Structure 1
Amino acid sequence: MSWDCKQVKTSRGSFEIFIKGKGKPICITHLYSEFNETGDLFADCFTDEHMVILINLRGCGNSEKAHSPFEYSMIHAVLDLEAIREALMIKRWSFAGHSTGGMLGVLYGVYFSERLNDLLIVGAAARDYTVSRQSIYNREHPLYNKMQWLLEELKRPGLQSNERLQLKKDRTKLSLYAPELHDEYFPTSVKKKMSSLRLNYFSTELAVFDLTRKLERISVRTLIICGRHDVQCPVSFSIEMEEAIPQASLLIFEKSNHYPFLEERELFIRGMKSFFNG
């Protein structure tokens, strides 16, 4: 079943959202992914028990365009999410984010915990993860150059669809515990895109991103999940967040890299449902 697409007019502009499932509302987004009616594999994990609101951030899909580059910043994304929540007349919702979506969730929790029921952060960090030599984005990581080449190729204009698909596949396989299972994890039915403008802005913002001293401000129940072998946001950053957020708990998946919700899906669903059901 495809996702229902809606356009939401807010005080900060018009935003494209996709809705699926019934139950308590949960907001899901990613800092530079561009969603459509085919949905998102991470968001699909929550549709059995939640009304999932999947959001295209500013500059993605049919959402409001940015009038200045700083409108691509994480704090502006959080303010946009708040405007969307208010326009939908939702008093409080949960938030779940993976990777940069999880980093956005940390910022959301720091400044708007009172607007959240729960917070779920997967494969993320509260500061610049590239400082870790265990991160594939650190220059000393053995796969750093390969990852950078793939990222730059994905930004290249005029890419044929088959070229883009192969580049995305090669990039994703670098972040899997069992790369040979890629096709099993990622069905071709989900066809989201990447916003190069948002990714480029994030690349500059990441250098000064650090919420570690503000994590104690997150006053909402928080579940942090990370794969033991995560090469993008190494598990040490999840441990750091769990130790600083007052109501946080941590689940480490021993046979996962950056995608525990796919690599150990049953365990992920079980842990997620246990958290939301208290």
Structure 2
Amino acid sequence: MTEHRVELSDGATLYVKLLGGFSPEKPLLIALHGAPGLASHRETEATYGYLQSRFRVLVYDARGSGISDLKPPYTHERWIADIEELRAWAGVERFILAGGSYGGFVSLDYALVHQDRLLALILRDTWAWGTRGMMQALKVSLTSKRIRADPERQYRMWTGILLDDQDFAQGVGEMQALFAPDAPDIDPNAEHENTPRKGIVHAATQNWAFSQNMPKFDVRSRLKAIRVRTLVVVGRHDLITPFECSQEIAQGIPNSELAVFERSGHNPAKDETKLFQARLSAFLSSLAL
């Protein structure tokens, strides 16, 4: 494993970890975390790090997240350009792209622009229509009996008008139990990819993502244009990006397969780790790499 500060063409610097080294004989997998302004490479490293004996796994804090530069714009177009620059930095023409939650939105948009660069696509607990997704997240945060949320704060969070970083941290904090499945042996308050880290919460990134990006994100009618092999992963009990959203994606992408994890919430890689790793490994082994 090596750590890097990669400077991009516009002067922004991203924090990058390359697991598995620079060995050119290994295929490259680039993994995108979710929750802009909140999550980090820790999520993707925990999910895909086990693959480093067979793959080079590139994980990083996206622009505006973690300890990467807080240099806007935080648009999908800019985040896609960042992926392209990291691909070139890693020295490959084609790679596997994996995105979870919000990282799945960016992955879908990347696939529609740069499909020729992809060996395969992995989408975990995501959706294809931003407006419906935002309303679903707001609805469940206000109606679920599993949590007690501040309606005004949740409204600010899901419409991208948060007051400040503390407002963001509090909004996510009161939603913790929604990300885990309702299972007696799984702690709903355990740390996950959307657990706020002290001092590393960036409301400006979340505000941009949900006030500007999500209202115009709708790739439903374009899913059929994605021809690359795709694995769509979802937890049966995901309340934020429900099963139906992943089902819609899998039905829309012609060369895709849907993997449903029956005891998982928003992150099967955490909730059912062994099953997730076995299913992902089987998919990757089936690729002609």
Q: TM-score range by the shorter chain?
A: 0.7 to 0.9
Q: Distance in 1 between matches of 2:48 and 2:77?
A: 25
Matched residue type, 2:209: F
Shift of residue 170, structure 1, vs aligned partner: 4.2
Give the corresponding residue for 2:240.
Answer: 232
Question: Counterparts of 2:268 and 2:150 in 1: how far apart (Å)?
Answer: 20
> Are the equivalent residues in 1 in contact too, given 2:138–2:154 (CA < 8 A)?
no
Read off the aligned partner of 1:173 and give its amino acid letter: A
Q: CA deviation at 1:186?
A: 4.5
Question: Among 4, 7, 29, which residue is 2:5 paired with?
Answer: 7
Matches within 5 A, 1:189-228: 193-204=200-211, 205-228=213-236
Matching of residue 142 in structure 1 with residue 134 in structure 2: no
1:91 positional shift: 1.4
Establish whether residue 126 from structure 1 lines up as the match of residue 128 from structure 2.
yes
Aligned-pair CA distance for 1:155:
6.4
Give the partner amino acid of 2:59.
L
Summarize the Cα distance change of 1:89–1:151 in structure 2 as closer, same or farther, 3 Å threshold.
farther
1:42-94 Cα offsets, whole Å, 9 max, x none, are: 43232232322112222335544435xxx211121111111221133221121
Distance 1:61 1:270 in 2: 29
What corresponds to 1:117 in structure 2?
119
TM-score normalised per structure 2: 0.78
The one-letter amino acid of 1:138's match is K
| Aligned residue type for 1:175 | F
Aligned residues: 265
SS of equivalent to 1:57: coil
On the 8 A contact 1:130/1:138 being kept in 2, the answer is no
Give the equivalent residue in structure 2 for 1:181. 187
Tell me: CA distance 1:266–1:60, structure 2 relative to 1, closer, same or farther (3 Å): same
Query: Secondary structure in 2 aligned to 1:126?
Result: coil
Partner Cα separation in structure 2 for residue 88 and residue 235 of structure 1: 34
Aligned equivalents of 1:213, 1:74: Cα separation in 2: 18
Do the aligned partners of 2:32 and 2:44 also contact (CA within 8 Å) in 1? no
Name the residue aligned to 2:29.
Answer: 26
Q: Give 1:203's aligned amino acid.
A: F
Find the residue that maps to 2:137 and give its secondary structure. coil
Query: Deviation at 1:145?
Result: 7.4
Query: SS at 1:76's partner residue?
Result: helix
Query: Would the alpha carbon gap of residues 242 and 186 (structure 1) be closer, same or farther in structure 2, given more than 3 Å must change?
Result: closer
Task: From the superposition, tell whether residues 152 and 5 of structure 1 become closer, same or farther in structure 2 (CA, over 3 Å).
Answer: farther
| Equivalence for 1:104 | 106
- Any residues of structure 2 matched to 1:38-187 within 5 Å, and which? 39-49=41-51, 50-61=55-66, 63-66=68-71, 71-128=73-130, 130=132, 135-138=136-139, 142-143=143-144, 146=149, 149=153, 156-157=164-165, 170-178=174-182, 181-182=187-188, 186=192
Deviation for aligned residue 1:257: 1.5
Q: Is the 8 A contact 2:15 2:61 kept in 1?
A: yes
Percent of residue pairs identical: 22
TM-score normalised by L of structure 1? 0.81
Superimposed CA distance per residue, residues 137-179 of structure 1 (whole angstroms, 9 cap, x where no aligned partner): 23795139727536969965569xxxx6x87554221221137
Q: Over the residues paired in the alignment, what is the CA RMSD in angstroms?
A: 3.3
Q: d(CA) in 1 for partners of 2:271 and 2:218?
A: 29
